Structure formats: structure tokens, C-alpha cells
Amino acid sequence: MSEPIRNKKADFPVAPTPQNTPANNAPISSHAQQPGVASIKEENLDHAAAASLFARNPGLVSMIQGKLGSLVGRSSGYIESLPAPVRRRVAGLKGIQKEHAKLEAEFQEEVLQLEKKYFTKFTPLYQRRATIVNGAAEPTDEEVEAGKGEGEDEDVKEDEEEPKKEAAEPVMSGIPEFWLSAMKNQISLAEMITDRDEEALKHLIDVRMEYLDRPGFRLIFEFSENEFFTNKILTKTYFYQEESGYGGDFIYDHAEGDKIDWKADKDLTVRVESKKQRNKSTKQTRVVKITVPTESFFNFFSPPKAPTDDDDTVATDIEERLELDYQLGEDIKEKLIPRAIDWFTGEALQYEEFRDEDDQDEFEGDEDDDEEDEDDDRRSDGDVDDESDEEDGTSKPKKEAAECKQS
């Protein structure tokens, strides 16, 4: 599906809305985007002094955050101050908007049904792909001819003649490590795959998906017999809320993954560390081995849970992990499965690069404006102390990966 048109920065300051922003963040979906207003600059603001004040008073920061949180979604009193006839017209516009929301919900439902309709047409193609990848069948002459690029005719003929010249070599079945290679070329997935994971992912023979009866989808990973776990199938299911969100979009709720039945000492999601322990009475020491969590692609099947703690820092971290987890599922559903051969050959990367360049160009002007504003602030405020950035290393590169959202 096509990506939503991103909001471009206005050429003039945007005023805050009378009703402030909604209490809930925008849903993770293809159309909804979190609303925002342009930042309002305060003149003669001593940034260094403010930063120092907040650093010395963490309680003050917490208090301010709590106060701001309590204000979100509240009326500013502007609407209530309007004359009765104007308030009546506002109420009428809200009624019209509700009718619009009903149509939006119908639109999203029809889009989902259309996706399901075409998914049934895609499924035989995916099944055919699986038989060729796993050596159960060979492509037809028509399929090969349709898949040839310019200048590939001679290469294919030479490859077909090689087994005749070297008959002693065993004939390779299917396309070994097809899915592992495709996943390693898909940027978001490649970052999750460790060297230890690769040995297990070599046994991945198919990746597919299915829609649920309720809003949501299930990813299915099929493995051949391997030394790491006994599961033949590992699934991960993404659920949406029953009620649609603002704009009729389906709102992501949570994900559930299968429990992996690891064989003895083969759990790739943990590592073994040796730790010395000293007996207080005898003063003797011994070495014990403990298992600690470690990075692994297979953590994908143990998705993070929604935050229940009141700690804002913990909640923010979990929310970021939830969004990343959802995006990984979307990348598998919308990118990897439909175009697996393009990821295997690496051809899909060039399209990702083009999209990244487009996104970068789109925001380039805004960044230049921000840099100019910062330069103006430096000239007006005097020398700026950059020591804090160097010490904590919080400077991060621009995010270039394009996002893919779903309806």
C-alpha cells in the first residue's frame, strides 16, 4: 500500500488549538499521524541556566511533567466563552464530523476486505515459491523466461551446462539459506540477527502470514529439523483493538508469540557467564555459571508487554520497544513476504535507498532552518558549552530508514 503523505512544515507559525491536543497518542496505522504544533520560541532564554536548574532538581522535572500531563485534553475555556449561537454552530460541525468518522471507518473496513481478497490471490504464488525454494519443484520455462533480466540468457545457459561438465559434484536442491539471506538484506531485520542466530535461521524454510477473524494478522515461520529447538512452526500474532481510532484506523493493541522449546544448552536468547562466589565462613571461592539475557532475533517471539508502571522513564522505553516490535512485524508482512526474492538478490535495497533519499530531501530544508535558528541563538547568547554532548555521547545520526505503515 502507498505511504501516507507526510505533513510538511508550514512557512508560518502555527497557533495552538483552543482545545489543546487529544489525551491519547495517534494510533500506529497507515494514515493517522500524531498531531503537533510548531514550537514557540522564548526570547532571552538562558538554555545553560535552565538545564543546570533541571539537572539539580529532578523532582521539579517530575512535577512539571505531571502538571503538563494533567492538562492534556482539557479545554482552555475558549469554546465555553463563545456566544451561544457560535457554540451551537461548533456543535453542528462536530455532528458533521461524526458522520465523516463513520464513513472513514467504513472505508478502512473495505480496504481490509480488499487486502484479504487479494491475499487469497497471492497465496498460490507464495506456495509455488516455497516449493521451488525447498527443492520440491523446479520453475517452468515460462517462469524462468519471465524472470530473466537483460543479458541473463547466456548466463542461465552456461549454468545449465555446468552440471554436465562436473557430474561428480552433488546437485544442490532448491535455494539454500534463501530466507536467511533475504532477512539479512532487510535492514530492520538484519540488525536483530546475530552470528549465533544464523545457524538456526539456516533451517528456516518458509515465512508466511494469515489474517485473523478479528482485526490483526499472524506471522508464521516454518523450520526444518534442527539442533536448536523442537518447534516446527513459530508464530507471532498482532492484535488490533476492536474499536477503530481517529480517522477510522485500526489501532494496534498487542502481540503474542509462541514459546520456543529450546533443546538443552541451545537457547540463543541467553548466554552463560562465569561468576566467582566467596564463602563468608570458609573464605573459599567457587565459580558458578549463570544465564543472562542476550540479543537474539528469537527475542522477536517474546514481545514486550504494555507498561503498567507509573515510572515515566520505564513507560517511555517500553512504548518505544512496542512501536519497534510492531514495525518489525509490519516490515515482515508488507516487505519481506511479498518480495522475498528481491530481498534475497538485494534488488529491493535500491528502492529502499531511493525512499530514504526522498525522506531526507523532504526534511532537509527544515533542518537547515533549525540550524540557522541555533546559530542565531548562539550569536545572541554568546558562547555555548558543548562539553555535555561530548561527555554523554548523546549525539545521534539522522534516521534514514523509511517507515512502512499498514491499514
Q: How many CA atoms lie within 13 A of 269 on its CB side?
A: 13
Contact at 8 Å (CB) between 200 and 268? yes
Q: What is the pLDDT of residue 388?
A: 40
Task: Compute the Cα dihedral for 18, 24, 25, 31 and give only its sign.
Answer: negative
Any alpha helices (H) in 169-311, and if so which ranges?
A: 178-185, 187-190, 195-201
Separation CA 289–CA 1 (nearest Å): 50
Separation CA 208–CA 134 (nearest Å): 14
Separation CA 250–CA 29 (nearest Å): 7
Torsion angles phi and psi, residue 131, rounded to 5? -65, -35
Rg (CA), the chain: 28
The cell for 223 is 523450520
| Partners of residue 288 on adjacent β-strands | 275
Contact at 8 Å (CB) between 73 and 20? yes
Q: How many CA atoms lie within 13 A of 6 on its CB side?
A: 13
Separation CA 212–CA 233 (nearest Å): 17
Contact at 8 Å (CB) between 333 and 190? no
| Location of C-alpha cell 473496513 | 109
Separation CA 116–CA 217 (nearest Å): 11
Torsion angles phi and psi, residue 72, rounded to 5? -60, 130
pLDDT 10s digit of each residue in the chain, 407 long? 444 444 444 444 444 444 443 344 333 344 333 334 344 444 455 666 666 665 666 666 666 666 656 556 667 789 889 999 999 999 999 999 999 988 998 998 899 999 999 999 999 999 999 999 999 999 999 999 999 875 565 555 555 555 555 555 677 899 999 999 999 999 989 999 999 999 999 999 999 999 999 889 999 999 999 999 999 999 999 999 877 777 667 888 899 999 999 999 999 999 988 888 888 888 788 888 888 999 999 999 999 887 665 555 566 778 888 889 999 999 999 999 999 999 999 999 988 765 555 555 555 555 555 555 555 554 444 444 444 443 443 333 333 333 334 44
Contact at 8 Å (CB) between 115 and 337? no
Separation CA 287–CA 244 (nearest Å): 55
Q: Which residues of 344-358 are buried (b: 16+ CB within 10 A; e: fewer)?
A: beeebeeebeebbee
Contact at 8 Å (CB) between 251 and 28? yes
Separation CA 165–CA 170 (nearest Å): 12
pTM to 2 decimals? 0.65
Separation CA 42–CA 366 (nearest Å): 19
- The domain spans of the chain are 56-138+174-368
> In what helix (H) or strand (E) does residue 366 lie, and over which residues does it extend?
helix 347-381
Residues across the chain: 407
Domain 56-138+174-368 has CATH 3.30.1120.90: yes
